[in-house]
Amino acid sequence: MTNAPAPTSVPVPVSTPVPGSPQVSVFEPAALGPLRLPNRLVMAPLTRNRATAGGVPTPLMATYYAQRATAGLIIAEASTPNAVGQTYPNITAIHRPDHVAGWRMVTDAVRAAGGRMFLQLQHGGRVGHPDTSGLTPVAPSPVALPETLHTPTGKQQAPVPREMSLQDVEDHVADFASAARRAIEAGFEGVEVHSANGHLLHQFLSQNTNRRTDAYGGPVGNRVRFVAEVVRAVAEEIGPERVGLRVSPGNTVNSIEEGDTEEIYPALVAALADSRIAYLHIGYADPGQPVFQRIREEWPGTLIGNPVLPKDRIPEDGGLAASERLLAAGADLVALGRPFLANPDLVHRLRTGAPVNQVRDAYMMYVGGATGYTDYPVLAEPPAVG
């Protein structure tokens, strides 16, 4: 690892409203480490399966992200830090020089349009298949995903993963740090470590997927260890002000059962409270849930909330009301997924109250090509970026 420069700024103070004070607006600018964001709307990471079979970003992806550069911050889709971490076909990666070159094309396009980007680093763990990666998946414990997976040869039953040795754990921490360095070389302002949605880091947190009896399993202090080590290694490599962490407390996607949600996340927050990383990002954030409230109370830095929206439609207001509720509950920034997917000019539509596009066909989200990707209409006079 290289020695990171001293942080250039401290975490942004939380925006919990003081009684009688005006509500923070999603359209107000915000600071995020050294970055100055023109608004508080973040484009959430959205897997779209438009990379090459080798995980290299394409020119079509550069167009897609540049179209959405009015977001205060774009968090680019999940990219694997090593070959064994690949989840599905045509997922992006960031562990080879051609990955760096492909992502550089994307970040150049977004920067030319006035935008800012972080890259999400995701390892699938047991959510993977040899038909996709060419390798047997690895995980904290040899507990198979009880689901089928999309592979280049069709749907396949998920295999039993190989339990990670202590050397594997050490190697994976180093792989995340190296991937973060490559992301900076590719032109990203920072990276988001993905510890949500039932993937590898989330598997270490959860009781049903982590049955280890060593220092990485058992009590909550042990189960948060791998996540904390990855985050600290990445922060050491590129500077904490360039690092975010995403979690999804209570989320059962990919057959995850945490078992002790109310204990594991305060323990993780405590393990990283002094890390000075740029932000903590809560997926599927419900401001009425005690775990959200406790994380907000105990996390000393910037908090991004990703609101729960209807699965079958984008709200008529584009998610604005849900975003405002999260800000009122103490979130500093709000991440929206499908509203940005279907509305390249979402910020302008929300600001002016214009109607929003709906996702036309969910199937087209993952099949490749421009349809359902770069062909969503924008308003006649999109706003200037910045």
Residue type for position 141:
S
Span 118-145, average pLDDT: 98
234: helix, strand or coil:
helix
- Cβ atoms 61, 106 nearer than 8 A: yes
Q: Is the pLDDT of residue 385 over 60?
A: no
Q: Are 173 and 193 in contact (CB under 8 A)?
A: no
159, 137 contact by CB (below 8 A): yes
Those residues whose C-beta lies under 8 Å from the C-beta of residue 169, and which sit 6 or more positions away, are 216, 226, 229
Question: 14 or 247: whose pLDDT is higher?
Answer: 247
**Do residues 271 and 306 lie in contact, with contact meaning Cβ atoms separated by under 8 Å?**
no
353 pLDDT tier (thresholds 50, 70, 90) = very high
* Amino acid 300: pLDDT: 97
pLDDT reading at 205 higher than 70:
yes
The confidence band for 366, taking pLDDT boundaries of 50, 70 and 90, is confident
Record the tokens describing residue 60, joined without a space. Answer: 């079509």
Task: Please name every residue paired with 302 in a beta bridge, in sequence order, or none if there are none.
Answer: 279
Q: Which domains does the chain have, with CATH numbers?
A: 30-365 (3.20.20.70)
Alpha-carbon distance values, 130 to 47, 123, 125, 153, 234 (Å): 20, 14, 12, 11, 27
Contact present, 240 and 205 (Cβ < 8 Å): no
Helices (H), the chain: 59-67, 97-112, 130-133, 166-185, 200-205, 220-223, 225-238, 261-272, 290-298, 320-328, 338-342, 346-352
pLDDT at residue 380, rounded to an integer: 77
DSSP-based three-state secondary structure for 162: strand
pLDDT of residue 3: 35
Q: Is the pLDDT of residue 381 over 80?
A: no
**Per-residue pLDDT tens over the stretch 218-245:** 999 999 999 999 999 999 999 999 999 9
Of the candidate ranges 78-92, 174-188, 370-384, the one whose mean pLDDT is the lowest? 370-384
23: CB partners within 8 A, 6+ apart: 17, 324, 327, 328
For the chain, the helix, strand and coil percentages under 3-state DSSP, each to the nearest 5: 35, 15, 50
Name the DSSP letter for residue 11: P
| Position 41 pLDDT exceeds 70 | yes
What's phi and psi for 305, nearest 5 deg? -115, 135
pLDDT at residue 365, as a whole number: 87
Is pLDDT at 382 greater than 70 in this prediction?
A: no
Task: List pLDDT tens digits, range 44-78.
Answer: 999 999 999 999 999 999 999 999 999 999 999 99
Cα–Cα distance between 334 and 41 in angstroms, integer?
A: 5
- CA-to-CA distance for 252 and 107, rounded, in angstroms? 33
pLDDT band at 10 (very low <50, low <70, confident <90, very high): very low
- Contact between 8 and 36 under an 8 Å Cβ cutoff? The reply is no
What does DSSP say about strands 279-285 and 243-247: parallel, antiparallel, or unpaired?
Answer: parallel
Residue 309 Cα to chain centre, angstroms = 17
Residue 363 pLDDT exceeds 90: no
